[in-house]
Structure 1
């Protein structure tokens, strides 16, 4: 099952986010040591800024993905959402959890009236590029360096992959 989290679920969100950073630190532009120190207000703020979805079984949380609005150097990109922070627990990989999470994010974006969603993927991560392509995302000419929240560049590059949510199949002109 996939469900959206609300502010009251901040501890659940904190738990799965820290689990993701512990298990796959290289997959995120964040540091476990910093996020462990964030207080309740910070986690609630994150839940207000974007929609966080979890996949769960009756026993455990299996994965996480986030949906926010796309931004570029000029601010929010009209009509475009951004899917980010995808993580699936190792024992649930290959079971369709990531697909269900991405579909939930795309469906919410469609319900919110967005025309496209972006998904930034490391250019050297062939599995992620193939996964996104299989979900209907298409590569764009947009690239950016991977950075930590403090702005430190990591040396890798990401590509924006875009999924049209309606009749407008053209990629957005800014990201």
Structure 2
């Protein structure tokens, strides 16, 4: 396989982000709060605002968009913690290191911004996702919340945290 590259998209690249985001919503609708129909209808102003709210990381192989992740604020009570969210990899590229490259790029960006930790919310029943995050170095916290996507089983998410420097303590989320 060719080399995986990850780059941060600018506001002016909103159409690229829109295209890969819609592909993610179409392929894995159960993984996201929004629906394809909702987001497909949004106009340019919406997408530009979204680009300014959080950093959008795009993974590419040979110029083809193969994955995406977003990096934002964990919350007002956690100013030293960045949050990784919206992670998606195209099915043909799963297991090829794309997710790891996206997470590493998110961690590197957060570290450069002076963040001490990176948070990542994972469905407690999603063994592969928990294993992936654990293998990357994320550690589970006591923070739980109901799944933000539709779930009939009352599933919940767990905040997993990656220390980005010397501070190995668990931040409040």
**TM-score normalised to structure 1 length:** 0.92
Once superposed, what is the RMSD of the aligned Cα atoms? 1.3
Tell me which residue corresponds to 1:7: 11
1:147 positional shift = 2.3
* 1:37-92 superposed Cα distances (whole Å, 9 cap, x missing partner): 11111111111111000000224100000000102xxx341200000000000000
Bigger strand fraction: 1
Distance 1:121 1:80 in 2: 16
1:148-171 Cα distance to aligned partner (Å, 9 max, x none): 5xxx77632000000000100001
Please list the CA deviations of residues 81-138 of structure 1 after superposition, one character each: whole Å capped at 9, or x if unmatched.
Answer: 0000000000000100000000000000000000001000000000000000001000
The TM-score, its normalising length taken from structure 2, stands at 0.93
- Residue number among 45, 50, 56 corresponding to 2:49 in the alignment: 45
Give matches, 1:139-154, under 5 Å: 139-148=140-149
Q: Distance in 2 between matches of 1:62 and 1:125?
A: 22
Q: Which runs of 5+ in 2 are unaligned?
A: none
Match of 1:129 in 2: 130
Give the equivalent residue in structure 2 for 1:27: 31
- State the aligned residue count: 168
Where 1:100 maps in the other structure, the secondary structure is: helix
Structure 1: gaps spanning 5 or more residues: none
CA distance in structure 2 between the aligned counterparts of 1:77 and 1:35, rounded to whole angstroms:
29
